A and B are shown apart, each in its own frame.
Chain A
Amino acid sequence: MATTCSVTVTSDILAGFGSVTKSMTLTKAGTTNDITETTGYSRRKLASASKVDLITMANELVEPLDNTAGKLYIKNVGNSQGVIDKSVGVKVLINSVEVGVLHGGDWLMMPVTVVDGEDIEVQPATDDVVILEYAMYYEEG
């Protein structure tokens, strides 16, 4: 049971660069065994510029194994009414430390420690409706 993910970045900033592609199979830490647990693919509607938990690590139904090979995918899909505004975004933080801003249509794939308290937090720039889709993959503790 495999989970795979690939990225291709194409750019004309640098003449001759073209593109870069990277692919990975999500595995358990230090092994070639496939990762086995997931939050599933989820959707969260935000309508306030307040910071909220997207994922509270201590609340996962299957307890994650800390400091392993967890991965998190998040996409800002806009307001789900056809408006994907690239000029505004949603801050993504881990336990109050900002990682960066997902503008409309942007996505991320990043490693996560899944340690209790190291929650994934999000904070929209405005009170306008914005939808995040996300999935976390991790090992069972």
Chain B
Amino acid sequence: MATTTAAVTLSSDLMQDTLSVSTETTLMKAGTTADGLDQVRMGYNKVPTGTSFDLLDATAAGADKASKVLISNDTTDETYYITIVIDAKEIGRLYAGDWMFIPWNQDDATHDLEVTAFGGTNTISWWCWHEGETLPTSAD
């Protein structure tokens, strides 16, 4: 079985007593307890302003699967950001230096994960650990 783990450490002193949370999970295929995710896509992109881009295109084969997505905005200018949109719903903004890690359900073919850059060209790196992808048949 392929093994992929995701560990997080969250620390905050906003409250009087410092919060520190550390946890780790193994990324499994949907509905299983013994079969790990076994496919991955990744990329490093320059995202210019003015256009919304499909970073990850939802497919019927991905519906109700256990995809996990990590996106990092590697831009250094703190005023730059990208918006994250799923199925036309803005999830939020990743400013320079921010990252996100989410489960992504390709609920239907419109459930694309889109990014749009603001402030200037943003540089992002991303990974999608998933299952169930079959390469499309060549049309020519």
- Chain A residues with CB under 8 Å of chain B are 1-14, 17, 20, 22, 24-27, 29-32, 35-38, 40-41, 67-71, 73, 75, 85-89, 91-92, 94-95, 97-103, 105-113, 135, 137
Contacts and interface: CB of A to CB of B under 8 A. Distances in A.
23 contacts: A3-B13, A5-B10, A9-B70, A12-B2, A12-B3, A13-B4, A13-B40, A32-B78, A35-B14, A41-B21, A69-B98, A94-B91, A98-B107, A100-B67, A107-B23, A109-B99, A109-B101, A110-B92, A111-B84, A111-B98, A113-B91, A113-B92, A135-B12
Counting chain A CB atoms within 10 Å of each CB, which of B38, B84, B88 scores highest? Answer: B84
Given A3-B14, A100-B102, 13 more contacts: A3-B12, A7-B101, A24-B98, A31-B78, A36-B14, A69-B98, A86-B33, A87-B32, A94-B89, A97-B86, A98-B107, A108-B100, A111-B93
B76 to A, nearest CB: 11
Interface in B37-83: 37-40, 66-68, 70, 72, 78-79, 81
Contact of B78 (A8, A27, A99, A107): A27
B30 interface: yes
Nearest to A73: B10
Contact of B92 (A100, A103, A111): A111
B33 A99 contact: no
List the 6 shortest-distance A-B pairs measured between CB atoms, nearest first.
Answer: A111-B92, A100-B103, A11-B4, A97-B89, A3-B12, A22-B99
Contacts of B90: 113
Nearest to B4: A11
A29 B95 contact: yes
A32 B84 CA distance: 21
A26 B15 CA distance: 15
B14 A38 contact: yes
B4 A10 contact: yes
Contacts of B14: 1, 3, 35-38, 137
A136 B89 CA distance: 19
